[in-house]
Structure 1
Amino acid sequence: MEPEHKDKTLIRKYLNHNCTPEEMKEVKRLMLVPGTQQIFDELLSESWTGLEAVENTDQPHLQEKLQQFYKKLEGEEVQRFQQKEEEEGMVRSIKQRNYLRYAAILAVIFLSLGTYGILQYKKTPVEEQIAMREILNPRGQRSRIVLPDSSAVYLGAGSRITFPEQFETNSREIALEGEAFFEVTQDPKKPFIVHTGKVQTRVLGTSFKIDAFSNRPLTVAVATGKVRVDDYTGQKSKSLAILTPGQKITYDQGMVKTVATEIEEISGWKAARLVFHNQSLKEITTELERWYNVEISFEHNGKAKEKISVVLQADVPLNKIMKILAATGHFKYHITSRNVSIN
């Protein structure tokens, strides 16, 4: 064997704590020879840790190898502290270099684990909490909202809509309290679902209006396309109606009523056109209270119950719309700030 090979073999035995007393003396002598430290570095660079390069980089495999490495380090440190006093000077120097080498190896290991974790994160779908938006119109205010899929919602006064900033891959779901007119972008792969309490209105691409105020009957009216309305109570679902253009469903206390209506009346609502057919003055003024953010009272209850039919354009000042309503309903009124009194 060449002298250098013998030195490497001897130093390797020393690093593995397999030297005889005579070999230990030879190691001490080698420490004084120039170039010996390079041999130590080369041997420490070899895969003595057992963390050899392998294709299997799954987490359990790496954890097992790390545990083996930690146990080996712990065992070696105990043995080093048990060295005889005459070896302490040389061992201290070697240990310092070994610790530096261990630190470098551990840095590579943890860097590899970190990279592996990042790659796994990219590969593994992570359930993220979807950010939600809520838009609330106070009384006297209306708004037009564009949803993430480019569908448009004309949200009425005193109404609220809640929707995700990004729709799911297989559906488009929103929640509504109040009234709104929808112009839904067509997407056969993603049904558009409006939740109004326990009732769901499902479409693929159409325009329709929903009235879903609390303590009032739910109504769904279709201007274009087709709409399905279902009642979800508990674990059971019940189909209430499948509506086509010009149809309206009213759902109140379990009772379903489907009637025909003018499409212009449905779509005209988004342009503030209010159509009332044989409805009481109380029902009509309740609608106007929300649109204009006012309080309308009746001096006589009998007047409030009178029914009329009228078309109102609710984008004009309140005094103008009250003149039209008064002429149709045959009453007088008085406006003070945000209060209207009908006699």
Structure 2
Amino acid sequence: MEKQEFIKLAEKYADGRCTPEERHIVETFFDKFQEKKTEWEWSEDEERRLRMLARIRNRIHGDGDNRRVVGNKMRWYRITGIAASLVLFIGVALYYNSSLGETYREEMAMRGEKKEITLEDGTIVYLNAESSIRYPRHFSGTREITLKGEAFFEVAKDPKRPFIVKSGDVETRVLGTSFNINAYSGKQVRISVNTGKVQVTDTRAEGKKAFLKRNQQVLFREGTGELEVSGTDAEKYRAWTDNVIVMENNTLREVADILERWYDVEIVFVDKGLENKIITGKYKTNDIREVLESIKFLKQVEYDFTAPGKIQIRNMSNQQKPKPM
């Protein structure tokens, strides 16, 4: 089997489409990779991605203790689904880098980390947790990149070469400006402008465009396909680049999604009704407990660490404690 054939197979593995024989091939590879006995040579970047794949694969196929901590099948499926999505996230990046050679680069920030990237034209990209960008090593006629997740851009001015960001079905085009794009998979796309002007296009509908200036935003909802323009304080959407969490009429489920990405944890609501409670606040801390303590006070909830990196949130009136490990 050639190296690129294996990478495609790893992608099938992450997506749950492997036959038992194919699954055995991938599992055997990861065992050999961790023992440094693979037959192919890997670049430094490929090795880094494969180490991440191996780590997440071990997390998916953890021992019985993991299942005991979880306590129910639905919780286990949630962990498996998240971990598998990360495997696919890394595997696709690995495939792109291997198949396209030196033509393209892909940078990614895993859960619990953020990155600052400077492109060859001087543009600075701040990459939020669980996000990635793919871009050519050398820009030619246009400066075009692909974004998954969230990033803040400080675009270097170049009137002859537009800067284009593709995020799903939305294309953002500028010449020189600063703006934030939030385009996590399965969510609406939100683009907010801090400086300059931005053109946003729905690539599925010819002629459907929105033009934004400073302190304006556009929401693209996949269900309706509408581009909704409104005024906003754009600074709050870039606050994450300064490690500030801004909650403004967010549901606790939305806040939990942010905390999961930022702190590399898994959060489950024992009382499902809590997920829709609304909260507003602003936090700058490296300690997730400080955020949880504030949520506890504001929303009259309790939280428990059931295992390292695993958190349960419940109503104060719910006396059901997590089972001891």
- What range describes the TM-score normalised by the shorter chain of this pair? 0.5 to 0.7
Say whether 1:240 aligns with 2:174.
Answer: no
Say whether 1:281 aligns with 2:260.
Answer: no
Say whether 1:317 aligns with 2:287.
Answer: yes
Say whether 1:182 aligns with 2:158.
Answer: no
Deviations 1:316-342 (A, max 9, x none): 112122222222222111123101111
Equivalent residue number for residue 152 of structure 1: 124
Deviations 1:5-48 (A, max 9, x none): xxxxxxxxxxxxxxxxxxxxxxxxxxxxxxxxxxxxxxxxxxxx
Contact 1:181 1:269 in 2 (8 A): no
Equivalent residue number for residue 133 of structure 1: 105
Give runs of aligned pairs for residues 223-262 of structure 1, distance below 5 A: 223-233=194-204, 237-252=206-221, 253=223, 254-262=225-233
AA partner of residue 247 (structure 1): Q
Which residues of structure 1 form unaligned runs of 5+? 1-127
In the superposition, the TM-score normalised over structure 2's length comes to: 0.62
**Aligned equivalents of 2:282, 2:114: Cα separation in 1:** 19
**Equivalent position SS for 1:238:** coil
**Aligned equivalents of 1:227, 1:181: Cα separation in 2:** 13
**Aligned equivalents of 2:181, 2:253: Cα separation in 1:** 21
Deviations 1:36-87 (A, max 9, x none): xxxxxxxxxxxxxxxxxxxxxxxxxxxxxxxxxxxxxxxxxxxxxxxxxxxx
* Number of equivalences: 212
Question: Which among 242, 263, 270 is matched to residue 292 of structure 1?
Answer: 263
Say whether 1:166 aligns with 2:135.
Answer: no
Moved over 6 A (4+): none
AA partner of residue 206 (structure 1): T
**Equivalent position SS for 1:332:** strand
Equivalent residue number for residue 175 of structure 2: 204
Distance 1:129 1:171, change over 3 A: farther
**Equivalent position SS for 2:296:** helix
Deviation at 1:210, TM superposition (A): 0.3
AA partner of residue 249 (structure 1): V
**Aligned equivalents of 1:162, 1:171: Cα separation in 2:** 14
Equivalent residue number for residue 338 of structure 1: 309
**Equivalent position SS for 1:289:** helix
Distance 1:187 1:338, change over 3 A: same
RMSD, aligned α-carbons: 1.7
In the superposition, the TM-score normalised over structure 1's length comes to: 0.59
Which residues of structure 2 form unaligned runs of 5+? 1-99, 315-325
AA partner of residue 207 (structure 2): K
AA partner of residue 191 (structure 2): V
Contact 1:223 1:266 in 2 (8 A): no
Deviations 1:110-129 (A, max 9, x none): xxxxxxxxxxxxxxxxxx99
AA partner of residue 157 (structure 1): A
**Equivalent position SS for 2:156:** coil
AA partner of residue 274 (structure 1): I
Higher relative contact order (CA 8 A, sep 6+): 2
